[in-house]
Structure 1
């Protein structure tokens, strides 16, 4: 056991001397509690109990569905995001676009742009 200093004993004695008195118990408290319990509507039939169980089962399904939806959204977003192209892929794409653009600007032939299809 721990040994208290003299200051602690003085504090304990002071608190014992000045502690408040315990209030008297209400003699009608037990009757009021039983009356309140009896007044509370209790499901008596089996159908009432099943209905209350089904309400509880739906109540826990809603937050679970929300959480599952959030997880699916985060996972789906991560998997469906396109990968960032590398520097070589970007350079290849840029060269392709530039060569096609230059090809359309430098096309000086007198042929129809769509070949035989446009002349029909």
Structure 2
């Protein structure tokens, strides 16, 4: 619980001194409340139209279609494909060779006895 600062002490003392007396609770108060709740008429919830959802859904669909059309990468040219093929082949040979250049492979036992 937060302690009051010394500046608020006079106010706290004043409020404690002049607070009203709490009236005693009626012994059947909870029964009265439950009786009033039981007597309340049950009203059906109003039917809301879901038509307001149509416009945002259409807008989201159009935006998604636009982005899928704009963000599709262009087809690579023959020269780009050849460069990519050469790059993959040269790097693949480096990863599967018997004597890798990485120090990590020196500490790994790849032989299966």
**Structure 2-normalised TM-score?**
0.40
As a proportion of its length, which structure holds more helix? 1
